[in-house]
């Protein structure tokens, strides 16, 4: 009886077959030779590997291969040089077709692979992935890696149960789901790209995935992109100043003083002392009860008390009137925590629209909310949640510009993971944003960017080849490069963002001609 011979080589373990061979490692003084960073290979006749294809490079041993990704290529054909082509046209001599087919002996196609690492087959049959340590060998076969092995190469989950299904990784003519590991959200995500490339659509995908894993979301929406998603998922939409306000006692001294105009120097000093007392009381109340309820009369009384201690009762009376009038005029402030805070545990998403506000008012709302939520989270009074901030460059500007509100937001991002708070920042202008904040976000989703923004971001993207970086400005809409810390995701990867499954996209690019016609019809202008 004939026995079946089992192939125990690493190529068999990886599912490599004869038909998946695409070329042979080559060496040439002009086209390059293998290095520890890049491996050129001659493309086999009839094979057409695509840019970005993941490949395996065999060696003279059965338990060790290299792996990499195609980053560039060239085809050499001396019969297609401009001089030869011109002579053929002028004298009607030579071959009419300078490239009859792939088998033409004068046609040479060479591609280059970015060397990413090594795969070793252990004695127990398991695979171990290591950094490149050995040179690739010339004359050895290059194979297209089956797409279903890519998650193992990238060190990401192979099932949506283990993370967030963001899109698909393509390799050659096949693709596989890209699942961002669960750990990524706790160490923060930055989504960057110029206008109209798919950032807000990607945020919608992230929101769907957070909802699927039952992780609550608090989103601050500048452009209205998240309103539809919130409705579809059963969340609550708020409009700052209408049904979303924050207690005046938690916003911080500078912000509070900014709302009280025309205070004299003496009045400012008295109000500052009084507000510090109220502010401390509010934070203590938040920590102990999870609520704040400090009437405006309390700070008025504190102002009068401080003024009396200073022997300036008349000054205190005038200051108190200004504070009371300013509070009544401001729609963003209230005296106590509102019901929206109780909804965080029961709703998948709370979306606060702040697009109608000036930037100072936006900072106040976002900073005050961040302070309250982080204080409550430290005491376990609210569940772990994800904080989404749209147009983050407005709130966290570059150049060291800092207000107490922006300081609170920076501190939230810097310390949030210790309190089980995840952060997603979205910006179309990373060069206008605090670089340290971008660096704090371990995971970056990079869509097409302009050169100035690309220069800032490219240095934060891990082991990505220069050739890949140079193509970022031309990335197609809905395509992004995702990179992360190596313990979360081993290598950056080009991802096609998946389609929405539950929600509708909130920010399509308008057709201005159609919008003008619609407006004219509605207003009966002909």
Four-residue CA torsion sign, 322, 324, 330, 334: positive
The Cα–Cα gap between 17 and 506 comes to 45
Residue 314 in domain: yes
The Cα–Cα gap between 393 and 425 comes to 9
> Are both 372 and 510 inside the same structural domain?
yes
The Cα–Cα gap between 215 and 118 comes to 37
pLDDT of residue 387 exceeding 90, the answer is: yes
Question: Pairing relation of β-strands 246-247 and 236-239?
Answer: unpaired
For 410-428, b/e burial (b = at least 16 CB within 10 A) is bebbeebbebebbbbbbbb
What are the pLDDT digits (tens) for 228-280?
A: 999 999 999 999 999 999 999 998 888 888 888 889 999 999 999 999 999 99
* Number of separate domains in the chain: 3
User: Greater confidence, 460 or 7?
Assistant: 460
> Are both 264 and 411 inside the same structural domain?
no
Residue 65 in domain: yes
Residue 159 in domain: no
Contact 20, 144 (CB under 8 A): yes
Q: CATH number for the domain including 386?
A: 3.40.50.300
Residue 509 in domain: yes
pLDDT of residue 505: 65
pLDDT of residue 385: 96
Q: 332, 357, 381 — which closes off a domain?
A: 332
Q: Which domain holds residue 233?
A: 180-242+338-520
pLDDT of residue 6: 40
3-state secondary structure of 229: helix
Q: Whole-model pTM?
A: 0.90
Per DSSP, the residues of 379-426 read TT-S--EEEEESSHHHHSBSTT---HHHHHHHHHHHHGGGGTEEEEEE
**Cα maximum dimension of the chain:** 111
What are the pLDDT digits (tens) for 4-63?
A: 434 568 998 999 999 999 999 999 887 789 999 999 999 999 899 999 999 999 999 989
> Are both 89 and 187 inside the same structural domain?
no
Residue 465 in domain: yes
Q: 332, 364, 396 — which closes off a domain?
A: 332
Q: How many other C-beta atoms lie within 10 A of the C-beta of residue 353?
A: 24
The Cα–Cα gap between 33 and 398 comes to 43
Q: How much helix, strand and coil, in percent to the nearest 5, is found in the chain?
A: 40, 25, 40
Entry field: residues in the chain: 526
What are the pLDDT digits (tens) for 113-166?
A: 999 999 999 999 899 999 999 999 999 999 999 999 999 999 999 999 999 999
> Are both 382 and 423 inside the same structural domain?
yes
Our CA dihedral for 401, 403, 408, 413, rounded to 10 degrees, sits at -10
Quote the radius of gyration of the chain (alpha carbons, Å): 30
pLDDT of residue 393: 92
Four-residue CA torsion sign, 74, 79, 85, 86: positive
Q: How many other C-beta atoms lie within 10 A of the C-beta of residue 436?
A: 13
At 32, give phi and psi (nearest 5°): 105, 160
> Are both 384 and 469 inside the same structural domain?
yes
> Are both 215 and 364 inside the same structural domain?
yes
The Cα–Cα gap between 57 and 327 comes to 70
> Are both 216 and 282 inside the same structural domain?
no
What are the pLDDT digits (tens) for 85-112?
A: 777 777 776 666 777 777 778 888 999 9
In DSSP terms, which residues pair with 54 in a beta bridge? 69
Residue 2 in domain: no
pLDDT of residue 29: 82
Q: 332, 354, 389 — which closes off a domain?
A: 332
How does residue 522 score in pLDDT terms, banded at 50, 70 and 90? confident
> Are both 140 and 188 inside the same structural domain?
no
In DSSP terms, which residues pair with 73 in a beta bridge? 111
Q: How confident is the prediction for the chain on average, in pLDDT?
A: 90
Contact 107, 77 (CB under 8 A): yes
Q: Residue 428: CB partners within 8 Å, gap ≥ 6?
A: 192, 193, 194, 195, 199, 391, 393
> Are both 75 and 127 inside the same structural domain?
yes
> Are both 454 and 354 inside the same structural domain?
yes
pLDDT of residue 1 exceeding 50, the answer is: no
> Are both 323 and 345 inside the same structural domain?
no
CA neighbor of 191 nearest in space, from 506, 522, 488, 478: 478
Residue 168 in domain: no
Contact 87, 93 (CB under 8 A): yes
- For the chain, give the percent of residues with pLDDT over 70: 95
> Are both 393 and 496 inside the same structural domain?
yes
Four-residue CA torsion sign, 82, 85, 88, 89: negative
Four-residue CA torsion sign, 84, 87, 93, 97: positive
Q: Residue 105: CB partners within 8 Å, gap ≥ 6?
A: none
Residue 500 in domain: yes
């Amino acid at each position: 009886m004939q026995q079946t011979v089992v192939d125990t080589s690493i190529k068999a373990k990886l599912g490599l077959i004869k038909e998946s061979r695409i070329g042979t490692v080559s060496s040439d003084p002009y086209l390059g030779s293998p290095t520890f960073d890049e491996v050129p290979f001659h493309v086999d006749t009839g094979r057409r590997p695509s840019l970005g294809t993941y490949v395996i490079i065999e060696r003279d041993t059965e338990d060790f291969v290299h792996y990499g990704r195609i980053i560039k290529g060239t085809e050499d054909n001396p019969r297609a040089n401009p001089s030869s082509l011109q002579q053929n046209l002028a004298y009607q001599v030579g071959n009419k077709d300078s490239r009859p087919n792939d088998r033409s002996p004068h046609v040479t196609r060479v591609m280059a692979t970015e060397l990413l690492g090594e795969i070793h087959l252990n004695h127990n049959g398991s695979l171990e992935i290591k950094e490149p340590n050995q040179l690739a060998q010339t004359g050895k076969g290059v194979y297209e890696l089956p797409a279903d092995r890519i998650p193992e190469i990238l060190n990401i989950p192979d099932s949506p149960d283990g993370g967030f299904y963001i899109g698909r990784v393509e390799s050659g003519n096949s693709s596989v789901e890209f699942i961002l590991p669960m750990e990524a959200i706790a160490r923060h995500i930055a989504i960057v790209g110029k206008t109209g490339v798919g950032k807000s659509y990607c945020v919608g995908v992230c929101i769907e995935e957070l909802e699927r894993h039952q992780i609550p979301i608090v989103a601050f929406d500048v452009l209205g992109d998240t309103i539809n998603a919130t409705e579809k998922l059963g969340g609550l939409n708020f409009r700052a100043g209408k049904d979303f306000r924050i207690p005046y006692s938690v916003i911080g001294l500078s912000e509070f003083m900014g709302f009280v105009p025309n205070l004299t120097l003496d009045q400012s000093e008295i109000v500052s002392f009084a507000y510090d007392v109220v502010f401390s009381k509010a934070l203590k109340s938040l920590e102990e009860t999870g609520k704040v309820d400090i009437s405006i009369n309390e700070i008025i009384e504190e102002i009068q008390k401080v003024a009396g201690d200073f022997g300036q009762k008349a000054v205190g009376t005038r200051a108190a009137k200004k504070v009371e009038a300013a509070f009544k005029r401001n729609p963003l402030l209230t005296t106590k925590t509102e019901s929206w805070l109780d909804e965080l545990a029961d709703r998948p998403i709370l979306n606060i629209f702040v697009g109608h506000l000036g930037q100072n008012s936006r900072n106040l709302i976002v900073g005050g909310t961040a302070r309250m939520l982080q204080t409550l989270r430290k005491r376990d009074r609210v569940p772990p949640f994800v904080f989404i901030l749209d147009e983050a460059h407005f709130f966290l500007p570059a150049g060291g510009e800092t207000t107490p509100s922006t300081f609170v937001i920076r501190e939230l991002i810097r310390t949030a993971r210790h309190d089980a708070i995840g952060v997603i920042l979205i910006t179309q202008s990373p060069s206008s944003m605090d670089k340290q904040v971008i660096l704090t976000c371990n995971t970056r989703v990079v869509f097409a960017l302009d050169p100035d923004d690309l220069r800032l971001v490219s240095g934060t993207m891990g082991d990505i080849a220069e050739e890949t970086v140079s193509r970022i400005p031309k990335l197609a809409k809905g395509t992004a490069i995702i990179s992360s810390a190596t313990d979360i995701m081993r290598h950056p990867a080009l991802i096609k963002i998946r389609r929405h499954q539950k929600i509708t996209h909130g920010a399509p690019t308008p057709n201005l001609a159609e919008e003008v016609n619609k407006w004219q019809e509605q207003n009966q202008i002909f």
